Amino acid sequence: MTQNESGTVPAGELNGKVAVVTGGSRGLGREMIRAFAARGADVVIASRKIENCRELADEVSNEFGVSALPVRCNVSVWEECDDLVDAAYGHFDRVDILVNNAGLSPLYPDLESVSPELFDKVIGVNLRGPFRLMASIGSRMATGEGGSIINIGSVEAIRPRGLALPYAAAKAGLHVLSEGFAQSLGPKVRVNTIQAGAFLTDISENWPAGLREELVAATALARCAEANEIVGAAIFFATSASSFATGAVLRYDGGFR
């Protein structure tokens, strides 16, 4: 990715680029898919529910005139990550942007109730999958024309709470991977993290009673974010507007304390 002297996103910069977004069929992933497509990028929509991927693929293809590839992928499964990479490169022959957005944080009544299965599942989705995709896609980017990798982190990585400790540990590990891959894949590939706070996606509909109020009270902006508010940060890191940023962690949490 080239140097940007103006600090703005040049018009049409994403035209013809290819963006892969995991967890791409809903929530933050859906908003990023739509944002990339609206700016001319072809997209790979990956999630566990292929029908949702297909519906969004049809939507963005019809609305924005881009090519959209739906792929079923459970990123906690190593082989399915490899299948996703093969599908993306087989269809488009390139990937310019990878967004590791798929996340999982199951509820549990108390810490003692956390089972090994739950713990491993959370680590698999939030940490192992991003590692494999960064290693595979990032290596191809580094030997090709370069690219940008964006990891969607969480404020839980620095403000962990008892109701999400496996998730918090995984997201903290994702910070380490971002820094390590930034060093390993540079100078042609940039790797950055958006450390997200409380966003009102469909997942928030299942928050425990009182959690939303607790999060609002702990946030300087005194609110949770709407899902489409992720777009500005994603476009920043996906384009030359952030040409000198790699290994960076952007706190995008409304001032969570």
Q: What are the catalytic residues? A: 154, 167, 171
Helix (H, G, I), strand (E, B) or coil at 256: strand
Contact 243, 1 (CB under 8 A): yes
The two three-digit tokens of residue 193, written as one number? 């993290």
CA 77 to chain centroid: 17
- C-alpha 185/C-alpha 135 separation (Å) is 9
Distances (CA, A) of 214 to 141, 179, 219: 42, 31, 9
Contact, 196 vs 153, CB < 8 A? yes
Token readout for 210 is 């009182």
CA distance 249 to 257: 16
Which one, of 85, 103, 233, lies nearest residue 167 by Cα?
A: 103
